[in-house]
Structure 1
Amino acid sequence: MNVATILLVVMWVYAAVYFIFLLKDVIAHKDEINNEKLPHNIIISLVANFFDTLGIGSYAIATSAWKFTKSNSDDLIPGSLNVSFAIPICVEATIFIKKVQADSLTLVLMIAASVVGAVIGAKMVSKLDITKIRTVMGVALILVAIITLCKINAFGPFGIIGTARGLTGTKLVIGIVANFILGILMTVGIGLYAPCMAVVLLLGMSTDVAFPIMMGSCAYLCPASGFEFIKSGKYHRGAAIPMVISGSIGVLIAGLIVTSLPLTVLTYLVCVVMVVCACMFFHDARKAAR
């Protein structure tokens, strides 16, 4: 078996253990579960993961949808993202990770770095109060909107065309540190895909190499951080399992049926929504602080 196959096998064994852990937690707290607005959450997960597979990203879309529909408590949003989207991201990685050949050492080390970062980030975020979480989510959405606009306009690192399939020496160290930081940021709602692609391009690697690195990173780090959020109970228990199922369906529809859409205008619209939603988080945080 090659490295890509080994990574996928280990990923799904890990995902199975994670899902059992999640299921046990949901069952153990079934009397506390609130299923209010469950249809909203099912649709949000399906749509967010559908567009994640097509390259827009799921975290910002889901965060904005939850804020506007009030179908998830603000303090549970970071945990809900990492807990409920972990399995759909594994499905996504399965579809795409074997399509691109990347240097094995670079791939494994950058994935491992993101996982360590996510575990540390989840421990920190699960202890934040709602005012701090609202502020962090607002900042996260602004940053994601800026990065997304740079990406669709090929601005900055996104305009660089590299050819390398992997990294060595100082560049490898930079890549590992960068993905470690991105793993931390993933737990507060800043999706890893676009920033990871920027790092890959800045370090001189080919654009397509970003896909196995960023998808592999997310497929491993989401369950890793998800364990921490599940243990602390900082996620939407009532909608978690349904969102896992609908999110996986969204990925399959996008990855195996639709494959591509004219997304430029929609991406601009999503950026506008992200900024508006960020302002709402800032307003609520300031109001709560008073």
Structure 2
Amino acid sequence: MVAAIITLLVALGVWFSFFLIKDLIKHKANLGPEKTLTAFIVGLITDFLDTLGIGSFATTTLGFKITKFLKNDELLPGTLNVGHTIPVIIEAIIFTTVVKVEALTLVSMVIAAMVGSWVGARTVSKLPEKMIQKVMGIALALTAILMALKQLSVLDMLGQGNEAMGLSGIPLMIGIVGNFILGALMTAGIGLYAPCMALVYMLGLNPLVAFPIMMTSCSALMPVASYEFVKFSRYSKKGAIGLTIGGILGVAIAVTFVTSLDLTLLTWLIIAVVLYTSVSMLRSGFKPAVAPEVQSYQKGA
């Protein structure tokens, strides 16, 4: 099972890398106004943190907001997915060494997440900037709440006493539908780790199987979702380059040099700032758009 999963992830990584590089070469004369170095630094830090279990979507959004990396929030969901795809696949390949979950449960939930991400990406890639800001604002708030619940060990409590290593019947159907929804939501910026963990715990699965399900689901769905964002050119090309290269280095550093760190204070700080960023994006999303003629007048004034 482990060999099959790693083979699948490698195949998805190679396929997506080829497609992404082809698109970057096609647009090499106009990769955008952003600074690749900024995205590289953000990717290095956020995928370092992702490898340690904090997550990368909320922290990357935070990093982009602090540095004012993106001029248009329409490109944010696509840049998050495209830029973190390869680093997350590498994470999964490194850490997925022992899979305790039954094959039917793992495969069906992973496929559900992949299909959900495909549907979600096709929807999110067509949303206007104001709607993206609203969706991302809500996504960040939910992410912060789930991070706080994990810090308070509430999610872990859900799994206490669970012994099942696989699902069947109605619980399996619920798991498939649930992961489909989580796969779709991830394309809008809601990280899959914490909600997927809560889902498998509530379905009665042993906490040991949570990691292979959520890690494999995440790494398998991201190339599928990112394909749609690349196809419709709804991502920052320099952002994707910087996040990918910096993210790979961040994963390597976390795996090589870090054995154990007390991340409690850092995580709570990130939760607080993510909530602030959520409020900021919601305010921007609900703020009435300025008419083009008013913008022209303001620029000329």
Question: Fold conserved (TM > 0.5)?
Answer: yes
| Structure 2 residue identity aligned to 1:236 | S
What percentage of aligned pairs have identical amino acids? 44
Match of 1:220 in 2: 220
- The two structures, once aligned, show a CA RMSD in angstroms of 1.4
Aligned pairs for 1:223-238 within 5 A: 223-238=223-238
Question: Following TM superposition, by how much is the alpha carbon of 1:288 offset from its aligned partner in structure 2, in angstroms?
Answer: 4.7
CA distance in 2, matches of 1:9, 1:257: 27
CA distance in 2, matches of 1:234, 1:70: 18
Question: Following TM superposition, by how much is the alpha carbon of 1:157 offset from its aligned partner in structure 2, in angstroms?
Answer: 6.2
Match of 1:187 in 2: 187
Equivalent pairs, count = 288
User: Does residue 59 in structure 1 map to residue 90 in structure 2?
Assistant: no
Aligned pairs for 1:133-144 within 5 A: 133-144=132-143
Deviations 1:31-67 (A, max 9, x none): 1112533221101111111111111110000011111
SS in 2 for 1:30: coil
CA distance in 2, matches of 1:42, 1:157: 33
Question: Following TM superposition, by how much is the alpha carbon of 1:259 offset from its aligned partner in structure 2, in angstroms?
Answer: 3.5
Deviations 1:14-36 (A, max 9, x none): 21011011001011011111253
Match of 2:200 in 1: 200
CA distance in 1, matches of 2:140, 2:53: 16
Q: Which stretch has the larger CA shift, 150-159 or 187-196? A: 150-159
Question: TM-score when scaled to structure 2?
Answer: 0.92
Question: TM-score when scaled to structure 1?
Answer: 0.95
Instruction: Give unpaired runs (5+ residues) of structure 1.
Output: none
Instruction: Give unpaired runs (5+ residues) of structure 2.
Output: 291-301
| Structure 1 residue identity aligned to 2:233 | G
Question: Following TM superposition, by how much is the alpha carbon of 1:158 offset from its aligned partner in structure 2, in angstroms?
Answer: 4.2
| Structure 2 residue identity aligned to 1:89 | V
Residue 9 of structure 2 is aligned with which of 8, 11, 30?
11
Match of 1:175 in 2: 175
SS in 1 for 2:147: helix
SS in 2 for 1:261: coil
| Structure 2 residue identity aligned to 1:187 | T
Contact 1:142 1:278 in 2 (8 A): yes
CA distance in 2, matches of 1:117, 1:259: 34
CA distance in 2, matches of 1:189, 1:221: 13
Q: Which stretch has the larger CA shift, 104-113 or 260-269? A: 260-269
Question: Following TM superposition, by how much is the alpha carbon of 1:159 offset from its aligned partner in structure 2, in angstroms?
Answer: 4.0
